[in-house]
Amino acid sequence: MDSNKTWMPRKQGSPVAACLNLFKSNALGRLFTVNPRHTECFYLRLLLVNVTGPLSFQDIRKVNGQQYPTYKDACLALGLLEDDNQWECMLAEAALNCTAIQIRLLFAIVLTTCFPARAQILWENHKDSMTDDILHQHRIRCHDLTITFSDEMYNEALIAIEDLCIVIANLPLSNFGMNSPNRTASDLMNTEMNRELQYSTVEMAAIVARNVPLMNEEQRTIYDRIMLAVSAGQGGFFFLDAPGGTGKTFVISLILAEIRSNNGIALAVASSGIAATLLDGGRTAHSVFKLPLNIQNNPDAVCNIKKQSSMATVLKRCKLIIWDECTMAHKHSLEALNRTLKDIKTVTNYLAELCWSFQVISDKHFQSFHVQHTLMRSTLA
């Protein structure tokens, strides 16, 4: 065997003068089909099967001597894509008789199933009709009818559209050639979030430092146990039961102040409006959790809170929920909240991811009267 022989890779075809290491031949080849969701590859393939003799990836984007930045723009210049006139007419017609929520859903369906050529231009032309409900909400909250559209409102609408696209096709807006929304800035427009983060951390820390030493042994045990669960993020279900005047409101107020002093979110709700006024930032459970009416007749009820709503964002970031006088609420209310939390936080275990403190004023039971259906009205007079 001749040891001077060496292996050299075979070179097929003849070299191309303009491109180094590029060869041309008469061999037949085949391009694989590409899903339109893979936008760059799809438009590149479209150019490859329609442009004759491209010399490079830059050269294939050149049309009539003009260099285009993307493959999609080159396809549009060559007339290989349909225009968006039909989508323009459809969105303009929808703006006449549809709500902003319906128009956003329609736009998300068009993006995920029809792949318009210029999605960003469609958005710019019809963003006012898709943001009309957000503008109305801010006018009502601020009691100012002169408020006009702003970039923050458009950002909120884009977030809602992107959430719909993710639900429908698991694709963000950037996949359709649109600018991605700023989700961090969306918190600035979240009134529910602002409500829970308005507390002064300095004042809350001062309340904790001033009152924690005043706790008795049992109160300090409850306080430490709940705060340990909150700090560990392990979740929990706590039930405080004690007669009136033993300091239950005092303890849970300090727990709320401790969490808020660290810029955390802690919700304080009660079954009645009177009990809610005793808690700092307290509100009724029905108003916070949007519990349905006549819930006692609906064992499968859920709270009227959408996953993309501002209240859902608060629940996702919430570290503690305190429900005063929870025994006054129907058990379907607690079950409805449990289903809603599992849906929003995408968990399956009972009351997961949240540390709960269900607080009960037990002396209310002692003051309850027996129900007698046979009493006459004159007897009660």
Mean pLDDT of the 33-43 span? 78
The distance of Cα 169 from the centroid of its chain, to the nearest Å, equals 16
CA distances (Å), origin 193, targets 282, 316, 372: 15, 11, 46
User: In terms of Cα–Cα distance, which of 289, 263, 271, 268 is closest to 280?
Assistant: 268
CA distances (Å), origin 47, targets 41, 51, 168: 10, 6, 29
What residues make up the domain containing 101?
85-189
Same domain assignment for residues 132 and 275: no
Mean pLDDT of the 180-186 span? 74
Burial of 357 (0-12, 13-18, 19+ CB in 10 A): buried
Same domain assignment for residues 169 and 269: no
Report the pLDDT value the prediction gives residue 106, as an integer from 0 to 100: 92
**Domain end residue (candidates: 77, 102, 134):** 77
Same domain assignment for residues 117 and 213: no
Same domain assignment for residues 73 and 90: no
Q: Report which of residues 198 and 202 the model is more confident about.
A: 202
Burial of 306 (0-12, 13-18, 19+ CB in 10 A): middle
Indicate if the pLDDT at residue 181 is higher than 80. yes
Indicate if the pLDDT at residue 366 is higher than 90. no
Same domain assignment for residues 48 and 138: no
Mean pLDDT of the 183-194 span? 66
**Domain end residue (candidates: 189, 211, 227):** 189
Report the pLDDT value the prediction gives residue 75, as an integer from 0 to 100: 85
Residue 173 DSSP one-character state: G
CA distances (Å), origin 231, targets 235, 245, 319, 341, 357: 9, 28, 9, 20, 14
Provide the b/e sequence for 328-338 (b: ≥16 CB within 10 Å).
bbbebbbbbbe
At residue 101 the predicted structure's pLDDT band, cuts being 50, 70 and 90, is very high
Count of structural domains within the chain: 3
Same domain assignment for residues 70 and 102: no
**Domain end residue (candidates: 131, 155, 189):** 189
At residue 360 the predicted structure's pLDDT band, cuts being 50, 70 and 90, is very low
Report the pLDDT value the prediction gives residue 80, as an integer from 0 to 100: 80
